[in-house]
């Protein structure tokens, strides 16, 4: 009994010397936070804590504890903390990503999940939207290739991915240079930058990287965003019909109306239901969570492909065999392109875009393994540690898509439970299916046509991440070479 009592009162080892950690940790410094927190395991074990005034943070670096937090005790750890910026961004927590766990939040998440799966795998429309964006990106790359120019793909990928999200949320698509679209690109960047900084400061206050002018910038960007969202919302309300669902806004409007007309327990969202603010903030969330992440993963994938011409060749052989040159790749080809799928999985492993997920908060007193956890504690899952655990991933820093292939390379596997690029459980990424679809369609469409190389005379792209908003590859230029056999397809877009 004594032993049990002792066991129960175990506290995770606490980092003793914050000024030291604080000085090691600076965003521009040699150790991005996730790397430093991985290294500290050697001294403190895989689960340890940091205490900062009244805030306590537990850092989880091993998959067993990570799954206890996210799955086994997923509801207990489903909370989020509020910060100054998330309150500004989400009208005091009315979105999903930063909304605290509640009846309204659960209802809200369920509606959005349903609406997204409607557009998800198996359904044609979003696939067509993504394919069209991929084709238009390829046209641009062809023009550059014909003029022997190299491209910074970053803004082009951002534009393409933003257009997909615009189509999904309010069935509008924009051409280059459209003022509304340019405004959107601009404010989105401002929002993602400031919010991500503030989340880091919430967990690691000593970083002190969040000056007042960031808050000013955020407020400005949010007000521009809100005007645009309000305009779209008003338009949707004006021509809403119960019988047509054109996009996510329609789906949310319908859910809101049926909840209002129907007070059954199942549909009830708790006091207040879904307000107009909730609907607007959902769309804001999808933009904030869906653009930068997907774009960044595409940039990492291209950077790694440039490093591995052999891998490009393997994927292209696969494409030539299954898709050929006469049509564009489609989602249904996914099962017959294992090398490409394995490459996507490996990119998500080696450079997880959200290496610390979004911090979770314990909603009541609980435990992780033998360690006590008190209500209100923030829990950070270090996915970087999970994905670079040498026990689970031999040579973790080496980029080897074949890890995800079965022994005769004919099918896919997930070789370790230490793999959570989208999180798991109550707070799992809502856009996982959409993001995977985009990665597959963009990369297959590009590789069908082009071989990607560095700009002549340039070194290969750096594979070191810059930690800021998300884990970003430094800027690089791509020299895209049209593949043999493609000349005759020029000026003609392929239909899926």
Nearest approach, Cβ of residue 294 and ligand HEM (Å): 5
Nearest residue (CB) to ligand HEM, 142 versus 282: 282
Residue span 273-312 as binding mask against ligand HEM, x where in contact by CB under 6 A, dash where not: ------------xx--xx--xx--x---------------
Contact call for residue 191 and ligand HEM (CB under 6 A): no
Copy the structure tokens of residue 463. Answer: 């594979």
Q: 309 phi and psi, to 5 degrees?
A: -55, -35
Nearest residue (CB) to ligand HEM, 88 versus 144: 88
Terminus-to-terminus CA distance in the chain, angstroms? 68
Q: 115 phi and psi, to 5 degrees?
A: -65, -40
Copy the structure tokens of residue 91. Answer: 């009208």
Nearest residue (CB) to ligand HEM, 12 versus 284: 284
Q: Which of residues 67-96 bind ligand HEM (CB under 6 A)?
A: 96
Q: Give the interface segment with ligand HEM, choosing from 253-261, 312-320, 353-361, 481-489 (CB under 6 A).
A: 353-361
Among candidates 240, 277, 275, 241, which has minimal Cα distance to 256? 275
Nearest residue (CB) to ligand HEM, 121 versus 487: 121
Residue with structure tokens 């990570």?
66
Nearest approach, Cβ of residue 470 and ligand HEM (Å): 8
Does residue 85 contact residue 195 with C-beta atoms inside 8 Å? yes
Q: What residues pair up with 478 in beta bridges, in sequence order?
A: 151, 454
**Total chain residues near ligand HEM (CB under 6 A):** 24
Going by their DSSP bridges, the two strands 366-368 and 360-361 should be labelled as unpaired
CA atoms within 13 A on the CB side of 348: 22
Q: Give the interface segment with ligand HEM, choosing from 177-185, 320-328, 385-393, 431-439 (CB under 6 A).
A: 431-439
Does residue 307 contact residue 460 with C-beta atoms inside 8 Å? yes
d(CA 218, CA 212): 10
Other beta carbons within 10 angstroms of residue 317's beta carbon come to 11
Nearest approach, Cβ of residue 10 and ligand HEM (Å): 25
Residue 429 annotated as lining a ligand binding site: yes
Does residue 465 contact residue 351 with C-beta atoms inside 8 Å? yes
Contact pick of 21, 259, 301, 434 for ligand HEM (by CB under 6 A): 434
Nearest residue (CB) to ligand HEM, 21 versus 156: 156
Nearest approach, Cβ of residue 211 and ligand HEM (Å): 26
Distance of CA 149 to the CA centre of its chain: 30
Contact call for residue 357 and ligand HEM (CB under 6 A): yes
Nearest approach, Cβ of residue 325 and ligand HEM (Å): 28
Residue whose CB is nearest to ligand HEM in the complex, by number: 431
Distance of CA 68 to the CA centre of its chain: 22
The set of residues, in sequence order, having a beta carbon less than 8 Å from that of 433 and lying 6+ positions away, is 116, 117, 120, 121
Residue span 406-425 as binding mask against ligand HEM, x where in contact by CB under 6 A, dash where not: ---------------xxx--
Q: 438 phi and psi, to 5 degrees?
A: -65, -45
Nearest residue (CB) to ligand HEM, 99 versus 479: 99
Cα torsion angle, 468, 472, 473, 476, sign:
negative
Nearest residue (CB) to ligand HEM, 247 versus 285: 285
Q: Which of residues 92-111 bind ligand HEM (CB under 6 A)?
A: 96-97, 109
Nearest residue (CB) to ligand HEM, 50 versus 115: 115
Q: 54 phi and psi, to 5 degrees?
A: -85, -15
Contact call for residue 429 and ligand HEM (CB under 6 A): yes
Q: Give the interface segment with ligand HEM, choosing from 263-271, 395-403, 428-436, 449-457 (CB under 6 A).
A: 428-436
Output the known binding site for heme. 429
Binding site for ligand HEM (CB under 6 A): 96-97, 109, 116, 285-286, 289-290, 293-294, 297, 353-354, 357-358, 421-423, 427, 429-431, 434-435
């Amino acid at each position: 009994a004594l032993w049990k009592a002792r066991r129960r009162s175990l506290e995770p080892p606490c980092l003793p010397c914050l000024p030291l950690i604080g000085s090691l940790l600076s965003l521009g410094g040699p150790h991005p936070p996730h790397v430093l927190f991985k290294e500290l395991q050697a001294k403190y074990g895989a689960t340890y804590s940091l205490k900062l005034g009244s805030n306590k943070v537990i850092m989880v670096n091993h998959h067993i504890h990570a799954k206890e937090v996210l799955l086994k005790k997923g509801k207990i750890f489903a909370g989020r903390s509020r910060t100054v910026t998330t309150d500004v961004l989400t009208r005091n927590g009315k979105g999903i990503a930063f909304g605290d766990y509640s009846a309204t939040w659960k209802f809200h998440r369920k509606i959005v999940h349903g609406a997204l799966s409607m557009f998800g795998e198996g359904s044609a429309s979003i696939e067509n939207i993504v394919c069209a964006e991929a084709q238009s990106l390829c046209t641009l790359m062809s023009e550059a290739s014909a003029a022997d120019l190299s491209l910074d793909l970053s803004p082009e990928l951002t534009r393409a991915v933003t257009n997909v999200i615009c189509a999904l949320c309010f069935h509008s698509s924009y051409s280059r240079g459209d003022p509304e679209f340019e405004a959107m690109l601009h404010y989105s960047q401002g929002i993602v930058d400031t919010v991500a900084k503030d989340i880091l400061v919430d967990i690691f206050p000593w970083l002190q990287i969040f000056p007042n002018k960031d808050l000013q910038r955020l407020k400005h960007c949010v007000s521009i965003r809100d005007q645009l969202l309000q305009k779209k919302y008003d338009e949707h309300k004006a021509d809403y019909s119960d019988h047509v669902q054109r996009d996510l806004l329609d789906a949310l409007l319908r859910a809101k109306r049926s909840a209002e007309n129907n007070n059954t327990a199942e549909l009830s969202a708790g006091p207040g239901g879904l307000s107009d603010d909730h609907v607007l903030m959902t769309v804001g969330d999808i933009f904030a969570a869906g653009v930068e992440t997907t774009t960044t993963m595409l940039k990492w994938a291209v950077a790694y492909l440039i490093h591995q011409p052999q891998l490009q060749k393997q994927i292209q052989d696969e494409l030539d065999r299954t898709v050929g040159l006469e049509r564009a790749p489609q989602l249904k080809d996914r099962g017959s392109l294992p090398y490409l799928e394995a490459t996507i999985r490996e990119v998500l492993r080696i450079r997880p875009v959200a290496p610390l997920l979004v911090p979770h908060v314990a909603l009541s007193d609980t435990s992780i393994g033998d360690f006590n956890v008190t209500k209100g504690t923030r829990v950070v899952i270090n996915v970087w540690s999970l994905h670079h655990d040498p026990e689970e991933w031999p040579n973790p820093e080496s980029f080897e898509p074949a890890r995800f292939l079965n022994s005769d390379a004919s099918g896919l596997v997930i070789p370790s439970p230490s793999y959570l690029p989208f999180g798991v459980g109550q707070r799992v990424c809502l856009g996982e299916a959409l993001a995977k679809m985009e990665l597959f369609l963009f990369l297959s469409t590009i590789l069908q046509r082009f071989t990607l190389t560095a700009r002549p005379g340039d070194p290969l792209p750096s594979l070191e991440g810059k930690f800021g908003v998300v884990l970003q590859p430094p800027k690089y230029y791509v020299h895209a070479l049209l593949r043999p056999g493609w000349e005759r397809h020029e000026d003609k877009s392929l239909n899926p």
